[in-house]
Amino acid sequence: MKFQKYKYAILAAIAVIIIVLDQITKFVIIQRFHLGESIRVLPEFFNLTYIRNTGAAFGLLATAPPAFRGPFFVIVPIVALFAIAYIFRKIPKEDIKLSIALSLVIGGAIGNLIDRMTLGYVVDFFDFHWRYTHHFPAFNIADSAICVGVGILTLDLLFEGKDINTHATRSL
């Protein structure tokens, strides 16, 4: 299969899959859980917990004034999506890794943006912890897609982009 013929189809497929899975899981959580309710899945390690994140990743800026948070958390992702779309257009058509990575980031960003625009917060529910004392910040499928996409980009830069200038030229 020649990837270059399908670059944008792959972008659309991955982004749509992420968005749909993200929104369905959040809908199920909202419908079946009360805010703060938790179901133990793996004792002492993992729960499903309905959390409303009014901040950024890991709850950053959650205590900022709502007049700042509202516009900030809508405008910044939209600008970032345009920047990522521009970069996506510039990557070589045969670079499957970078195309997949950016598609994951785009899908995740849109998934969380939908929440911010419709609910005013992001629904998080994956709750990992160690014996209920040390909690990792709750997250969702969109957050996971963004982290995996950024991880792929980072690994690509570290292990294949030995010369940052060569990598930048190859990627843009």
Token pair for residue 54? 């009014």
- Whether 22 is a known active-site residue: answer no
Provide the 8-state DSSP code for 156: H
Report d(CA 90, CA 112) in Å as an integer: 25
* Residue 59 exposed, middle or buried by CB count within 10 Å (0-12, 13-18, 19+): middle
Strand order in the sheet with 134-135: 38-42, 46-53, 122-130, 134-135
The catalytically annotated residue of 95, 143, 156, 163 is 143
Task: Look up 124 and say whether it is catalytic.
Answer: yes
Tokens 């969380």 correspond to: 112
Catalytic residue among 22, 115, 124, 127: 124
Positions marked active-site: 124, 143
